[in-house]
Amino acid sequence: MKTTPIVLSLALLLLSGPVLADDDCDDPVASWQPRENLREKLEAEGWTVRRIKVDDGCYEVKGRDSNGVKVEASFAPASLMMMEWEREDDDDDDDRDYSNRSMSSGEANAGNPVPNNGIVKGRPTVTVE
């Protein structure tokens, strides 16, 4: 059995890990600017900032950009330069628009009749406290 190709492959695999995983910010904490400075900068550019948190040494911002697009962006904490920008798509089932439905529990919804298959005996009610 030839062990040279196996050893060489294993060595390349182990050495390639740190090269591929360098997407973190590496600014020293002493040089970081406050999050409020980033918030003020982005709001002056027309952003609506929902949240700023620290992730992998970067400031991660969730909100809407100046065009109204939901985004998640990473910024270097010392220079407040944008490192990465990602659009957040609304493909979740949790974010459906229910604005045209009746939200009170006492009203019957004429658009969605109760199935008459013997399983459901009436419209379920929900109480939110």
- Per residue of the chain (129 residues), what is the pLDDT tens digit? 577 777 767 666 666 555 544 568 899 999 999 999 999 999 999 999 999 999 999 999 999 999 999 999 999 999 999 999 999 875 554 544 444 444 444 444 455 555 566 666 667 678 887
How far is 36 from 125, CA to CA, in rounded Å? 43
Q: Which domain holds residue 78?
A: 24-87
Q: What is the pLDDT of residue 127?
A: 83
Q: What is the pLDDT of residue 100?
A: 44
Q: What is the pLDDT of residue 86?
A: 93
Q: Does 48 reside within a domain?
A: yes
Q: Which two tokens stand for residue 72?
A: 């998640």
How far is 91 from 14, CA to CA, in rounded Å? 37
Q: Does 75 reside within a domain?
A: yes
Work out how many domains the chain is built from and give that number: 1
Q: Does 51 reside within a domain?
A: yes
Distance of CA 88 to the CA centre of its chain: 6
What CATH number has the domain bearing residue 56?
3.10.450
